[in-house]
A and B are shown apart, each in its own frame.
Chain A
Amino acid sequence: MFNNLIFIILFMLGFYALVMKTNLIKNVIGLNIMEAAVFFWVISFSDVGGEVSIHKLGEEVTKFNDPVPQALTLTGIVIGASTAALLLTLIIELNKFSGTIDREKIEGLND
């Protein structure tokens, strides 16, 4: 319940930055916040009150947290970093030709 509310707030903040801000770097920051909101929701939703899902030698742990959503989240974090780097590279290259990163001031895309 509480975590759902946090997810909605963070996701809407990121969405706002993506739609309303005209600065392209702020758009990438908004994308990052949306990503982090989804990951945080997955992790907190799959938390069933168990232990860290690592066996201990000579000790029998009865209840673990689910390892599958954590593995998927780990994949997502690494891919998010590389896509953010690719987006920033495109912004740098765009800035070289147009001299600005405001997406409403960029000219010359049509001609």
Chain B
Amino acid sequence: MEVLEIILVIFLVFSALMAVRFDEELISIIFLSIFSLILTALYLLHKAADVALAEAVIGAGLNTAIFMSAISQIRHGDSD
């Protein structure tokens, strides 16, 4: 187990914890994107280049855009 991998895993768990903990959706989505980015580096360390590319493109790129477009049209109207 290399030192770099231990550091990345610690940040992975930290970003997942933050994504679950915050009540604001925007912050959790940004932490989910960071989570995917760290996961990409971990896949690359485990010598899985194809999976790393897919995770970078889909997890960090497309998923974030889809989540953002979803929360941009959600109303929090408790008044009516």
Q: Are A33 and B16 in contact (CB under 8 A)?
A: yes
Q: Are B58 and A99 in contact (CB under 8 A)?
A: no
Q: Are A85 and B66 in contact (CB under 8 A)?
A: yes
Secondary structure class of chain A's binding surface, majority of residues: helix
Given contacts A25-B71, A32-B63, contact A43 B51 (CB under 8 A): yes
Q: Mark B56-70, 1 if CB is under 8 A from A, else 0.
A: 001100110011001
Q: Which of A37-83 touch B at CB < 8 Å? A: 39-40, 43-44, 47, 50-54, 65, 70-71, 73-74, 77-78, 81
Q: Which of A1-54 touch B at CB < 8 Å? A: 2, 6, 9-10, 13-14, 16-17, 21, 23, 25-26, 28-30, 32-33, 36, 39-40, 43-44, 47, 50-54
Interface residues of A (CB under 8 A from B): 2, 6, 9-10, 13-14, 16-17, 21, 23, 25-26, 28-30, 32-33, 36, 39-40, 43-44, 47, 50-54, 65, 70-71, 73-74, 77-78, 81, 84-85, 88-89, 91-92, 95, 99-101, 105
Interface residues of B (CB under 8 A from A): 1, 9, 12-13, 16-17, 19-20, 23, 25, 28-29, 32, 35-36, 39, 42-43, 46-51, 54-55, 58-59, 62-63, 66-67, 70-71, 73-78, 80
